[in-house]
Structure 1
Amino acid sequence: MGNVERGSATELIKDAELARDELRTALKGAGITLPSLSLDGVSLAGDFPRPLVHLGRCTPELARRIAEALRKGAP
């Protein structure tokens, strides 16, 4: 992998980390914590990573709280 490709891969991963952090902060503001919120390791592998934010698993109660928070914020 060349330097340009490495730079692009690094930028993609940093962008995914920022998106994850933005989501974590927004959820925290709604009183919600997703313990498994992270970057998907498999999507980071290879020469040309396609980073994905992994939301993880949650209880049915938490799923309902997220749904309610989204409904409140929907236009």
Structure 2
Amino acid sequence: MSNPVKDAMQRFAINQVLRYLDGNPEENIPKLMELFDKYTPSDWYRPQRDAFRKATKVRKARSICAKRRFLMPNGGNR
């Protein structure tokens, strides 16, 4: 038997997280990962968490490179 109050609280929490991520994903994903690390056992899904962190770092690095290429199409050379 499910608990309607618990279900409603879980839905609310997930919706809040999704709204938070929509605001600024590049800045907020690392913050959520830190929060997750703080309140969950360190061995919980460790390989997945590490892979996720690596993927977000790679994405951020690619984004920075793309912005740099857009702003300086000739690599800064005149």
TM-score range, shorter chain: 0.3 to 0.5
> Which is bigger in relative contact order (C-alpha 8 A, separation at least 6)?
1
Structure with more of its chain in helix, by fraction: 2
Q: Which has the larger radius of gyration?
A: 2
Q: Of Structure 1 and Structure 2, which has the larger fraction of its residues in strand?
A: 1
